[in-house]
């Protein structure tokens, strides 16, 4: 293999390694974001369930007040 071919090949390999590093960092960033969104979703689901329970209790209280009349 000629020296120029070797240099070109080395350059291409370095470019691929750089691209790999960039993609690896992006992948880590996306996985972190995914985890954050999952945690946020779980928090919102719990808040929604709690609100639903409170509304159910209020409705039952209103119904019992209505029945007392």
Say if residue 62's pLDDT is above 80.
yes
Say if residue 18's pLDDT is above 80.
yes
Say if residue 67's pLDDT is above 90.
no
Say if residue 69's pLDDT is above 80.
no
Higher pLDDT: 65 or 16? It is 16
Question: pLDDT for 23-55, tens place per residue?
Answer: 999 999 999 999 999 999 999 999 999 999 999
What gap in Å lies between CA 3 and CA 48, rounded to an integer?
A: 67
């Amino acid at each position: 293999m000629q020296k120029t071919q070797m240099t070109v090949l080395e350059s291409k390999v370095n470019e691929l390694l750089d691209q790999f590093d960039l993609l690896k960092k992006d992948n880590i960033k996306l996985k972190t974001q995914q985890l954050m969104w999952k945690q946020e979703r779980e928090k919102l689901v719990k808040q929604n369930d709690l609100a639903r329970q409170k509304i159910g209790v209020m409705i039952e209280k209103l119904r019992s007040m209505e029945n007392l009349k």
